[in-house]
Amino acid sequence: MIKINEHYLKLQESYLFSDIARRVEAFVEAHPGKELIRMGIGDVTHALPPACIEAFHKAVDDMADDATFRGYGPEQGYLFLREKIARHDFQARGMDIEADEVFVSDGAKCDSGNLQELFAVDIKVAVPDPVYPVYVDTNVMAGRTGAFVDGRYQGLVYLEGTTANGFVPDLPKEKVDLIYMCFPNNPTGATIDRQGLQRWVDYALEHKSLILFDAAYEAFITDDSLPHSIFEIDGARRVAIEMRSFSKLAGFTGTRCAYTVVPGECTAYTAEGRPVPVHQLWRRRHTTKFNSVSYPVQRAAEAVYTAEGKEQTGKLVSGYLANARYMRKAMEKLGYTCFGGENAPYVWVDCRTDSWEFFDRLLSEAAVVCTPGVGFGLCGQGYVRLSAFNSFEKVEEAMERIEAVLG
Ligand SMILES: *Cc1c(COP(=O)(O)O)cnc(C)c1O
């Protein structure tokens, strides 16, 4: 008899996006011809930068000729891409990250879901609340949690984000082994400063823990005082792994390319306490289960690092950031307390009422779709997320409509 992994049965259906879709559908049916403005989905809206498209096309042509055709590539990713990542994203900012420490992948979602399999089932896992659901669900699948009770999985440590701590969680009271962090944050848009991040690295060094640092929104950091990478922090090379993505930076959400940095010194331990380099484990996993991203996609990602690519992605990001600032200002003018929207493409609004109630009001009265914060965890109740991934014209109109309803 073929038996299932019963941990899958503990998973809660994520009703968030299906619930949103259902309510939107009902609204559209009742109001034919009324134009909806969607500020709910965390997907980019602008096309790939021309520099990437040009490199993409050229690489496709390479595949059409025996002389330039590429078959299986290196599992870790082509050196031409890993070298540029190491140089531009890390060495240029004074960090000692080498191309050999970079693993190219098909997504930060995939990496943040896959990394947990390197670690024992009985470790203590800490996740933020509100949370990017991948961190939680992949640990449920692996059997690291108990049942779902009153909105939370037993056995997980939830690091609470609140208005009081500005959605930068405090260190846990108990000892935890694996810590998920995401800054700039999805969904709250919160950022962490050097001092704050140093406290987490020191905690991990003291407790022999490991931090999985999701920096998918790094490109949105404009405040010079904020760290762009956890590897700017002293001691982080021993206790941290960082995930980055071309998705939000360069519109690769559909094209798929990302990378993970596992420094040579990053260490985990056997049950007896013998240190083992995590790099060695991740390389083994990566080369066994994955064959990297297609050659044309890696060439397209490489073009992000050319002068034109930097200029074009810079424009994309600053456009989204201008939207975010505009949205935050408009909500604050209406008297709402907001987080994010400054070094992140999300504005997290304290809606002073139930998340779904506020969602329904914006939908029915303004025809604007947002994301109810409670969908990201218990601490998200009473908040909604507004996404800046849109054209400025749509954002302007959405804020006008919201002002008319809430003003
Ligand atoms: C969008 C996003 C990612 C990016 O995932 P890809 O798989 O690279 O597209 C990763 N983490 C968070 C928190 C995100 O919001």
Tens digits of residue pLDDT in 325-345: 999 999 999 999 999 999 999
Question: Above pLDDT 90, what percent of the chain?
Answer: 97
pLDDT band (50, 70, 90) for residue 87: very high
Strands 275-277 and 240-245: unpaired
Is the CB–ligand 1 distance for residue 59 below 6 Å?
A: no
Paired tokens of 256: 């798929």
Q: Give the residue, out of 132, 180, 259, with the most ligand 1 atoms within 8 A of its beta carbon, to mutate for a pocket test.
A: 132
Residues 6+ apart with CB under 8 A from 378: 129, 151, 152, 158
HEC string for 80-95: HHHHHHHHHHHHHHCC
What does the mean pLDDT of the chain come to? 97
Q: What is the mean pLDDT of residues 68-95?
A: 98
Ligand 1 atom closest to Cα of 185?
Answer: 13
pLDDT band (50, 70, 90) for residue 390: very high
End-to-end CA distance of the chain: 62
pLDDT band (50, 70, 90) for residue 253: very high
Q: What is the mean pLDDT of residues 202-221?
A: 98
- Dihedral of the CA atoms 4, 7, 9, 15 (nearest 10)? -130
Which tens digits make up the pLDDT trace of 2-13? 999 999 999 998
Is the CB–ligand 1 distance for residue 348 below 6 Å?
A: no
Paired tokens of 250: 């360069």
Q: Which residues pair with 348 in a beta bridge?
A: 339, 385
In total, the chain counts a number of residues equal to 407
Which tens digits make up the pLDDT trace of 341-380? 999 999 999 999 999 999 999 999 999 999 999 999 999 9
Is the CB–ligand 1 distance for residue 108 below 6 Å?
A: yes
Please report the domains of the chain, with CATH numbers, ordered by start residue. 6-47+314-406 (3.90.1150.10), 53-307 (3.40.640.10)
The pTM of the full predicted model, rounded to 2 decimals, is: 0.97
Quote the CA–CA distance of 216 and 80 in Å, as a whole number: 21
For residue 121, pLDDT over 80 is answered with: yes
Q: What is the DSSP letter of 119?
A: S
Q: Which of 370, 114, 136, 112 is nearest to 247 (CA)?
A: 112
* Rg for the chain, CA atoms, rounded: 22
Paired tokens of 227: 């760290």
For residue 15, pLDDT over 80 is answered with: no
Q: Give the residue, out of 43, 248, 261, with the most ligand 1 atoms within 8 A of its beta carbon, to mutate for a pocket test.
A: 248
The residue type found at 251 is G
pLDDT at 16: 85
Q: What is the mean pLDDT of residues 310-332?
A: 98
Q: What is the mean pLDDT of residues 17-36?
A: 93
Quote the CA–CA distance of 218 and 245 in Å, as a whole number: 9
